[in-house]
Amino acid sequence: MVDARGLSCPQPVMMTMNEMKKLGKGEVVILVDTDTSRENVSRAAKSQGWQVKSVDSEGTGYRITIAKD
Partner 1 sequence: MGYEMLKGLTKKLFATSPGIIGVGAFIGVFAPLLQKWGNPGNMGVCVACFERDIAGAIGLHRAAVVQYMRPEIIGFVLGALIAAYVFREFRPRTGSAPIARFVLGAFAMIGALVFLGCPWRAMLRLTGGDGNAIFGFLGLIAGIWIGTRFLKGGYDLGRVQRTYTSVGWLLPLTMIGFLVLMLLFPQVSGQNQSGVLFYSTQGPGSMHAPVIVSLIVGLAIGFLAQRSRFCTMGAFRDLILFRQIHLFSGVVALLVAAFITNLIVGQFHPGFAKQPVAHTMTLWNFGGMLLAGLAFCLAGGCPGRQLFMAGEGDGDAAVFVLGMIVGAGFSHNFGLASSPKGVGPHGIAAVIIGLLVCLFIGFTMRKRIA
Contact positions toward partner 1, by CB under 8 A? Answer: 5-11, 13-14, 17, 33-36, 39, 43-44, 47, 60
Shortest CB 68 distance to partner 1, Å: 17
What minimum distance in Å lies between the beta carbon of 34 and partner 1? 6
Q: Calculate helix-pair angle for 11-23, 35-47, nearest 10 degrees.
A: 30
Closest contact distance (angstroms) between CB of 25 and partner 1 is 19
Q: Which residues of 30-44 are buried (b: 16+ CB within 10 A; e: fewer)?
A: bbbbbeebbebbbeb
